[in-house]
Amino acid sequence: MGTSKHKWRFTLLRSPSHLKKPTPPPEFICPISNTLMADPVIVSSGQTFERNCVLACISLSFKPPTLPTLDFTTIIPNLALKSAIINWCKTHSYFPFPQPVDIRSGLSIVKTLINGSPDSPNCSNYREIRLSSLTSSASEDSVVAAACAHAAAATTAPIPFCYSSSSSSEIDNSNNNSNDVGEEDEDIFCKLRSGLNSDQEDAVVSLRNLTRTKQDARVQYCTPRVLSTLRHLIVSRCLSVQVNAVAALVNLSLEDVNKVKIVRSGIVPPLIDVLRGGFVEAQEHAAGALFSLALDDDNKTAIGVLGALPPLLHVLRVGSERCRHDSALALYHLSLVQSNRSKLVKLGSVQLFLNMVKSGHMTGRVMLVLCNLAGSVEGRAAMLDGGAVECLLGMLCRSEFDSESTRESCLGALYGLSQGGLRFKGLAKEAGAEELLTKEQEMGSERCKEKAGKILEVMMQKYEEEETVDWEALLNSDELTRSKFELVYGKGSV
């Protein structure tokens, strides 16, 4: 008993130096948080940091002034170092084990770095730009110039997408993150810009859910920095990231105030890439996004110029059923603009549309596009060449319509074609148009009666003009020969 008590006394009276925590190797310490790393990641430029410290730097567009060539473009978990840190902690009885820095703490640490070094040129310039973007009433050009000067002074290395800005508003929003959507949503933004697929997936799923039914959230999240990030995630090779990123964009595009902003953010080209070679579900969402964006008149020409028409026609032929329906609607709204009608004709779309009408597939939506094309000179010519008159009159004869509105569209397309002159009259007469249109005028709906009557009026006008000229007598007269001679050789004596 005595020996045991003596041993216990000896243990309790050991030197305090034995209880002192060992000092971790410097390479185990995060340069930003100055703590032992629990979730180390390697960035593109080769340095290793605690993951949420990197995400906080990305969110706040900040780079430590001691590391001017830092590049956060990609983030890769440093599993070897993480294992080494855990083994070191076990070997040296370092307790408790290090815990990952949460995102709020990471943001707080980085904000302290931003505001804590007045002698740092990087931090100083950052604060000046942030202040000017928030309080200055100067023009947008001055803000852009300030940002360019800041970028040039900070680093000569390539700037990753999370730092780049396409407009002064993006500079403002990327720096003033607290005014963007609130501190509670910073985790989404940081994960959106993470280099890890798992983080990106979590973020786009959250964004998709938040914007699915909440109108305020759709307006709130449609900011330059969110759109800039989605622009890259839309073409992700990860199925879940791509699908949910495009679906989130569709949700954002539902608000009228967002439509022009989205197109101007440069997001249409990635949507086109998805239509050309993305995952099937992502293609469906991309077609829906273009349809939604095309509802705004200010976007119609831009979407056509950016090259959306060929891939929309492609998925209209070979896409899924949902993709084809949304593509048809997008093409209808885009074809309301003359420049897009001309492009569609040059792309050979008329024959595609007529074949779809003949097959009875999506007749109503395709007929809307044909109505628009019939309203242009190029469209009329292509439709007359492609047998549209016979096709449309045949549908009237057989009453092959899924709705009354489709019948009205058919008559609307015929009316557009009737502006094509004598050629339309000849083709229509050969197909028995007068009898069909007269019947439609007697038995159709009010709108159908009205359109049928207008077409008959045009045809009768053509008849009257033709009756004023005796073409047979003219062909046999010397007057025609003289006129042809003068046309070729000019007036005067031979």
Q: For 457-483, b where at least 16 C-beta lie within 10 A, e where not — what string?
A: ebbeebeeeeeeeeeeeeeeeeeeeee
Residue given tokens 């001679």 in the structure block:
485
Q: Which pLDDT belongs to residue 97?
A: 87
Each residue of 2-11: pLDDT tens digit?
A: 454 555 454 4
Beta partners for residue 50, in sequence order: 40
Q: Which pLDDT belongs to residue 273?
A: 94
SS3 14: coil
Q: Which pLDDT belongs to residue 309?
A: 96
Count other C-beta atoms under 10 Å from residue 373's C-beta.
26
Evaluate whether 416 touches 375 at the Cβ level (below 8 Å): yes
Q: Which pLDDT belongs to residue 230?
A: 93
Each residue of 335-387: pLDDT tens digit?
A: 999 999 999 999 999 999 999 988 888 888 999 999 999 999 999 999 999 99
Structural domains of the chain sorted by starting position, each given as residue range(s) with its CATH number in brackets: 21-154 (3.30.40.10), 182-334 (1.25.10.10), 349-494 (1.25.10.10)
Q: Which pLDDT belongs to residue 350?
A: 94
pTM: 0.61
- Per residue, the 3-state secondary structure of 260-315, as one string, reads HHHHHCCCHHHHHHHHHHCCHHHHHHHHHHHHHHHCCHHHHHHHHHCCCHHHHHHH
Q: Which pLDDT belongs to residue 460?
A: 80
**Could you say which residues of the chain have pLDDT below 70?**
1-20, 117-184, 462-494
Query: Tokens representing 472?
Result: 């047979």
63 class by beta-carbon count within 10 Å (0-12 exposed, 13-18 middle, 19+ buried): buried
Q: Which pLDDT belongs to residue 473?
A: 54
